[in-house]
Amino acid sequence: MRAIALALLLFAATPSAQAEQLTIDRIYGGGSLSGPTPSQLKISPDGARVTFLRAKADDATTFDLWEYNVKAGATRLLVDSKTLAPNGEQLSDVEKARRERARIAGRHGIVEYSWAPDGKKLLFPLTGKLYLYDLTAVHAKALRELDTGGEATDPQISPKGRYVSYVREQNLWVIDLANSKAHALTQDGGGSVHNGEAEFVAQEEMNRFHGYWWAPDESALAFERYDEAKVPRVKRSEVYADRSEVIEQRYPAAGAANVEVKLGIVAPGGGATRWVDLGANADIYLTRVDWLPDGKRLAYQLMQRDQQHLDLILVDAATLGRRTLLSETSKTWINLNDDLHFLKTQDAFIWGSERSGFEHLYLYTLDGKLQHALSTGAWNIDGVLAIDERAGVVYVDSNRDFVPDRQLYALRLDGSSADAPKRISQGDGTHSVEFSKDARVYVDSFADPKTPPQVSVHAADGRFLAWIEQNKLDEQHPYWPYRDAHIVAEFGTLPAADGEPLYYRLYKPAHFDPAQHYPVFDTYYGGPHGQVAVRGWADYFAEYMAQHGYVVFTLDNRGMARRGRQFSDGIYKQLGKIEVEDQVAGIHWLKSQPWIDPARIGVFGWSYGGYMTAMLLAKASNEIAAGVAVAPVIDWSLYDTFYTERYLDTPQHNAQGYELSGVQHWLDGLKSPLLLVHGMADDNVQFSNSTKLMPRCRSAARSSS
């Protein structure tokens, strides 16, 4: 990152004297600049406590377990991770990969935990071991290590608290907490066979990190068994502190074989697995699994490989009889969501769908009949946060009022407020909400461009109850020395070439003078679902660049989520076309501003953003001075099945789309300097993408010299 910053500073204007500025070392080293910001906030089942993870004051990457006692109004440290792992963590390659896909790869210490159903115990993994923390015990005796017999992943406490389950050596295990005895529920895991785990594309692309699910009455566990024997092998370098090794990995590239999936049901005491019939077609995706509240029925979502057809199927857990409740279809692709919720007081369920062109909610009976819509209109729901069946209310988050925001809204379960949801959250900006189990209270993590993240407790109607972390920007705050140099981001829209409004975020240089001509640091993601122009707290690197004389610009182009299907579907069958056109429209808008130096516009992107940099330079070098591409996809046939085929179909069916979506097709137009950065150990955007680009760039450089 430091090399990138120094390279781009070649374009910078000379900064004027000002308050203390951010530095690269301060941004990426030491404690968090955002203050003591809690993460993974959870309300205990009895509503008495809010637990969370908090980074150490001197190490923003290492987390401890804390609690806020609602009645006492007091916060205390429960578990200091350093006491359990004083020499740090020794993670297996499997755990490192799992954390990478969960986007917590840079975190250490306690990185996840869960509540026991009785609200008395907490379960968490650390250094491959499992621990139970008893909140009712004397602090010195509160911690109990569970004997798992080896490295345990994906630990869960069973719904009634009798068992702890986990995955070990590719098999599903349980511990009976009454006698502390562990036993395996599956025995054939190993080699290419995995039990109780989510496969690579489920973790990386489906937002599904679990491979097993407890029945609410603890009578059984449903689990995924997958066999990756047919998935092609790829080799990559894994760089360690003292050595490098060649790692062989099963990677399902576009058009290649996926894993073969089965869905089983097994009792926690052991015994034979009973297999659910998933149909004759084995080339499918098992995307979601949910138990109904009675524990007697199981629902799973089955998606066809073309991702244009999805079935919700109900299974009788005793007889394994099944029937389809509903089906979703699309002419482009179906986006997965987590908005299936079976009600407890009636034989009905809530279902999220984009069938109207926007993500909305619908109420169905268990015989598959649509009752009514819970939400309608030209706005998009992000997801269901809680359901209060007693009060007849469904709580959701959305950017209905302003696209760069996230707010909390209430909908009536009877559909009477479908086109007029009640907004609950108040401050403009980004609200991330976690509700209690009974939907009576929620924890709100809020931030805006002037406010570092604050965490508070509210009643369901929005009434403020208590602070967990007010995070005042005062003399004790780590950002205080930089407060006077803080640059507040501006937000607005500009028209695409066809007039479609595109949202942008803009940081103007410190001591901005409209009579000057400033260079531009244009940074983006550009890919599906990746909204970056978000009205939240500071983007420190963007501020760093603005403090060094740049205009820092971010535009969210077509393909992005949260704006409806018409906005997102323009990328179907060819990537890097409408996205690049929109970004070029943003560059044209910049050049029309009198305070921009049109000859000094640099672009920067990572992952899909890296791909966008390469495509922008290949298609529009005349508009751009230089670019940085980090971990770019160069050839989409090298990327994974689920993501790539969602937008491009398979290479076998859309060869031209893959050709036109690839950077190499357009390389003759790459005239501006490109800085290419890629980690050799990247198990998702394989390093082979960049090695495919490098010889072409060398050849082009030789021919032009």
Q: Please, are residues 60 and 31 in contact by the beta-carbon 8 Å criterion?
A: yes
Using one digit for the tens of pLDDT, what is the confidence trace for 166-210?
999 999 999 999 999 999 999 999 999 999 999 999 999 999 999
3-state secondary structure of 219: coil
Domain contains 193: yes
Q: Would you give the end-to-end CA distance of the chain in angstroms?
A: 30
Residue type, 269: G
Residue 78 CA to residue 108 CA, distance in Å, equals 17
Domain contains 283: yes
Name the phi and psi angles at 545, rounded to 5: -65, -40
Lowest mean pLDDT among 11-20, 463-472, 501-510, 535-544: 11-20
Domain contains 668: yes
Give the residue-averaged pLDDT of 430-439.
96
CA 295 → CA 119, 342, 344, 367, distances in Å? 21, 12, 11, 18
pLDDT at 635: 97
> What CATH number did the domain enclosing 508 receive?
3.40.50.1820
Query: Residue 353's closest CA among 377, 321, 381, 387?
Result: 381
Residue reference for tokens 């502190």: 241
Q: How confident is the model at residue 699 (pLDDT cuts 50, 70, 90)?
A: confident
Cα 9 off chain centre by: 31
Domain contains 549: yes
Cα 358 off chain centre by: 20
Lowest mean pLDDT among 123-137, 558-572, 578-592: 123-137
Has residue 15 got a pLDDT over 60?
Answer: no
Has residue 310 got a pLDDT over 80?
Answer: yes
Give the residue-averaged pLDDT of 623-628.
98
Domain contains 402: no
> Which residues have a Cβ under 8 Å from the Cβ of 371 and sit 6 or more positions away?
348, 362, 363, 364, 365, 415
Query: Residue 200's closest CA among 212, 211, 184?
Result: 211
**Which tokens hold the place of 630?**
């980090």
Output Rg (C-alpha) for the chain, integer angstroms. 26
Using one digit for the tens of pLDDT, what is the confidence trace for 446-474?
999 999 999 999 999 999 999 999 999 99
The angle at the Cα of 206, spanning 365 to 281, to the nearest 5 degrees, equals: 75
Q: How confident is the model at residue 704 (pLDDT cuts 50, 70, 90)?
A: low
pLDDT at 505: 98
Name the phi and psi angles at 687, rounded to 5: -60, -20
Domain contains 698: yes
Q: Of 334, 367, 388, which one is at a domain's C-terminal end?
A: 334
Has residue 2 got a pLDDT over 50?
Answer: no
pLDDT at 487: 97
- Across all residues in the chain, what is the average pLDDT? 93
pLDDT at 239: 73
pLDDT at 86: 81
Q: Please, are residues 253 and 269 in contact by the beta-carbon 8 Å criterion?
A: no
Percent of the chain with pLDDT over 90: 83
Has residue 106 got a pLDDT over 80?
Answer: no
Residue 149 CA to residue 182 CA, distance in Å, equals 8
Domain of 285 in residue numbering reads as: 188-203+217-334
Residue 427 CA to residue 586 CA, distance in Å, equals 29
Has residue 133 got a pLDDT over 90?
Answer: yes
pLDDT at 702: 62
Q: Is 618 exposed, middle or buried (0-12, 13-18, 19+ CB in 10 A)?
A: buried
Give the residue-averaged pLDDT of 564-579.
98
Q: How confident is the model at residue 703 (pLDDT cuts 50, 70, 90)?
A: low
pLDDT at 241: 72
In the sheet where 284-291 sits, what is the strand order? Answer: 284-291, 297-304, 309-316, 322-329
pLDDT higher at 249 or 362: 362
How many other β-carbons are positioned within 10 Å of the β-carbon of residue 145? 11
Has residue 531 got a pLDDT over 50?
Answer: yes
Has residue 494 got a pLDDT over 70?
Answer: yes
Residue 544 CA to residue 166 CA, distance in Å, equals 43
Q: Of 285, 308, 334, which one is at a domain's C-terminal end?
A: 334
pLDDT at 364: 98
657, containing H or E segment: helix 655-661
pLDDT at 5: 41
Percent of the chain with pLDDT over 70: 96
Domain contains 292: yes
Print burial letters for 185-223: b (CB count within 10 Å at least 16), e (below 16).
bbeebeeebbbbbbbbbbbbbbbbebbbbbbbebbbbbb
Domain contains 90: no
Q: Of 317, 334, 351, which one is at a domain's C-terminal end?
A: 334
User: Using N-to-C axis directions, what is the helix angle for 578-591 and 608-620, rounded to 10°?
Assistant: 70
> Structurally, how many domains does the chain consist of?
2
Has residue 39 got a pLDDT over 60?
Answer: yes
Residue 585 CA to residue 38 CA, distance in Å, equals 39
Has residue 11 got a pLDDT over 60?
Answer: no
